[in-house]
Amino acid sequence: MVNLDEESVLTTRGLTLSFGALTVTNEVDFDLASGARHALIGPNGAGKTTFVNLLTGILRPSAGQILMNGADITGATPEQRVQHGLGRTFQINSLFRELTVIENVAMSTMAQQGIGHQVFGASSSMKGCFEQAYEVLCDFDLQHVADKQIKNIAYGEQRLVEIAIALGLRPKVLILDEPAAGIPSSESHVILEVLRKLPSAVSILIIEHDMNLVFQFASRITVLVQGVVLLTDTPEAVGKDTRVKEVYLGSR
Amino acid sequence: MEAGRFAGTRMMEKHNAETRDTVLVRLLRDRYLRWVEGAILLLILITYITFPTYHTLLSQIFIFTLFVLSLDLLVGYAGLVTLGHAAFFGVGAYSAGLYAIHISPEPLSGLVVATSSAAVVGLVSGALILRTTGLTFLMLTLAVASVVHEILNQAGELTGGADGLRGIEMSPLLGIAEFDFMGNTAFIYSAVVLVVGYLFFRQVIRSPFGRQIVGIRENAIRMRAIGSPVYLRLLAAYTISAGMAGTAGALLAQTNQFVSLSVVTMERSGEALIMLIFGGAGKLFGAFVGVPLYMLLQDLLSRYTPIFWVFWIGLMLVLIVKFAKNGVLGVGTRLLNKYRSRHG
C-alpha cells in the first residue's frame, strides 16, 4: 500500500499491540502522505482509538515502528511527538472549561512558541501568542465568543475550539479523533466546512463515524477491522468494496 | 508560519488588525487591578497610623497573607490540594532562627537563606510526590509535613524540640531599624516583604508559566497533548510556592524572635487552607481577603463565645464551600457582574 509518488510524513511499520493473548493492533503498515486528507474507518472495536493512542504516544506498541518524516518516534513521549509536529484532537471534548475561548487556544500557541516556562520578560511574546490565538479563532469564525468561558458556549462551538487548540500548535500532522462526535449528522456539514478550510500543508488523519463526512472530506480511506488493515484506497473504491460492506452490514 | 494558516480565503475579510487589537486589549486588560492594589496599600498605611497598638497582630496578618498567597499558587492556580504546606513555613522559620543564632543576626540575608532552604525542601519533596495525583498526593503532602515535624522535634539539641527555638536576636534592619517592642519595625518589614512577595506572585501567575499552570489545573491531559511538560511545570510551581512559604515562616521567626513546633503542624496547614477558601482560591486577592477575615473572626468569636468559636468557623466554612464558590471574592465578583449586566 505504500504510495511511492508521495512523500509519507507519518509511517507505521508492523505496528502491533497485544495485551496477553489479545492483539488489538496487528502489524499495521500505514502511510500518511504529505498534505493528505486521510480517513481511518472501521466498525466499533476495530482498534481505531488504540491506533491513535499508539500514534500519539499514550500507548507503547509491543512491536513495530512509528516514523515521522523519517525520524523514529516509536519511543518518544507524547510531548516529544508534539515537538515533532504531531497535533491531535479528542473524541470527547478536552478543553480548559473555566477559561475563555481565546485562553484555550493561547494555551497551545504559547506551548508552540516554547515560552511556557517563562516567568519574567515574556509579556510581549505572550501578547504575540494571544494575537496568534485570535487569528486562529477568526479562521474558525469564533472571534465573537473569544472572551466567553468554554462552559458558556454551545457544544458545536466547543467542538470547533477542540480543533482550534490543536491548530494553535501549527502541526505538520493533525489527527482528528471523531471531530463530529455528538453533532447530529444533519449539522455535521458545519464541521466539514471548517475541516475543508484547514491549511493544505497540514497532513490530516481523521477518524470518524459519520460516513457522509468521511466520503466528502477524505481523498483516501483506510479500513481497520479487528486491528488489521483491511484495505487502503480512494473513497470510490472503498465504497464499492464488497468486503467493506460485509464488515459494516454483515455477510448475507 | 504558513503551515498554521488557513489555505483558503479568510472567513473574515472585513476583519482587520485594528479591531483585532481593540479586542485583544479588552481581553488582556486588568479591570480594577491598579485600584485594588492601591486600596490595599492605602489600607496598610492607614492601619499603621490608626492602630499603633496592634502592630504586632497586623504584622502577623501580613505574614499569614504571604503564606496563604504561596498556598494559593498550588491550590488555586495549579490545582494541587495540599495539607502539608506548613512544612515549608516551618523550614523557613527554623532556618531563619538557626541562621540568626549561629551565623548572622542580619535579617535580610536570613530571609534569603530561609527562602532558599524551603525551596530546596519543596524541590526535593515535590520531585518525589508530584508523580502522584489527587488523594495519594494529598496523603503524601501530609506525610512530608509529618516527617519535617518529627525531624525538628527529634533534633532537640539544635531546634529546642518541643520547647521551641529560643535565643533569636536580630540586628537592626538595614543597620538602622531596631526590632522594637511595639512592633513598628516588624510591621513595616513584613508589610514590605508582603508587597514584594505579592508583586512576584502576580508576575508568576500572569506570565506564560502561570497560565500554563492554570491549564494543568483545568486539564492536565490536554496540556500533555499540546506538548507541555506537566510534571516539570508543577515541580517548578511547587518549588516557588515552598520558597514563598519559607519567606513567610522566616518573617515570623525574625519578628517574634521565637519559633515553636506549632509552625509545622497540620493545624497550621489546614488553617491556611481555610483562610484561602474564605477569601477565594485562584483569585489574585483571595489571601488578602481571607486571612484578615479569618483572623478577625477568630478574634471576635473567641472573645464572645470562647468555648464555641471553632464551631462557628466550621459552620461558616461549610456555608462558604456549599453556597459561595470561590469564597468572599467569588461572591463579590458575581454580584458585580450581575449589577453590571443589569445597568449596562
Note the pLDDT tens digit of each residue in B137-168: 999 999 999 999 999 998 878 887 778 888 88
- Looking at chain A, the domain(s) classified CATH 3.40.50.300 span 1-85+171-252
B17 shares contact with chain A (CB less than 8 Å): no
Cβ of A107 within 8 Å of Cβ of B10? The answer is no
Rounded CA gap, A1 and A29, in Å?
8
Instruction: Give me the sheet containing A63-68, strands edge to edge.
Output: A22-33, A8-19, A63-68, A71-72
SS3 label, residue A95? coil
Cβ of A138 within 8 Å of Cβ of B15? The answer is yes
Note the pLDDT tens digit of each residue in A22-38: 888 888 899 999 889 99
Q: Which band of pLDDT confidence, cut at 50, 70 and 90, is reported for residue B333? A: confident
Q: Fold for A1-85+171-252, please state it.
A: Rossmann fold (3.40.50)
Cβ of B3 within 8 Å of Cβ of A201? The answer is yes
Is residue B119 over pLDDT 50? yes
Confidence at residue B297, expressed as pLDDT on a 0 to 100 scale: 85
Confidence at residue B332, expressed as pLDDT on a 0 to 100 scale: 81
Mean pLDDT, range A191-197, rounded to an integer: 89
Note the pLDDT tens digit of each residue in B189-201: 999 999 999 999 9
Mean pLDDT, range A120-129, rounded to an integer: 84
| Minimal C-alpha gap between B87 and chain A (Å) | 25
Average pLDDT for chain A: 88
Is residue B2 over pLDDT 90? no
Q: 506570565: which residue's cell?
A: B207
Cβ of A146 within 8 Å of Cβ of B23? The answer is yes
Using alpha carbons, list the distances in angstroms from residue B90 to B64, B97, B147, B162, B260: 13, 10, 12, 14, 9
What cell was used for B197?
512577595
Q: Classify strands A203-207 and A220-225 as parallel, antiparallel or unpaired.
A: unpaired
Mean pLDDT, range B242-264, rounded to an integer: 93
Q: Is the dihedral of CA B19, B23, B28, B32 positive or negative?
A: positive
SS3 label, residue B326? coil
The single-letter DSSP state of residue B53 is G
Confidence at residue B19, expressed as pLDDT on a 0 to 100 scale: 63
Is residue B12 over pLDDT 50? no
Q: Is the dihedral of CA A60, A65, A66, A70 positive or negative?
A: positive
Secondary structure E strands in chain A: 8-19, 22-33, 37-41, 63-68, 71-72, 86-88, 173-177, 203-207, 220-225, 228-233
Confidence at residue B167, expressed as pLDDT on a 0 to 100 scale: 81
Tell me phi and psi for residue A175, to 5 degrees. -105, 120
Rounded CA gap, B194 and A107, in Å?
30
Tell me phi and psi for residue A231, to 5 degrees. -165, 160
Is residue A1 over pLDDT 60? no
Note the pLDDT tens digit of each residue in A135-149: 899 888 888 888 889
Which amino acid, one-letter code, is at A155?
Y
Note the pLDDT tens digit of each residue in B26-58: 666 666 788 888 888 898 888 888 887 888 888
| A71 backbone φψ class: left, alpha, beta (φ>0; ψ -120 to 50) | beta
Average pLDDT for chain B: 86
Is residue A61 over pLDDT 60? yes
Residue of B nearest to A89 (CA): B225
Residue with the larger pLDDT of the pair B34 and A3: B34
Confidence at residue B174, expressed as pLDDT on a 0 to 100 scale: 85
Query: What are the extents of the domains in chain B?
Result: 45-265
Taking the model in full, what pTM does it have?
0.86
Mean pLDDT, range B235-260, rounded to an integer: 95
Is residue A190 over pLDDT 50? yes
A28 shares contact with chain B (CB less than 8 Å): no
Is residue A95 over pLDDT 90? yes
Lowest mean pLDDT among B114-118, B130-134, B240-244: B130-134
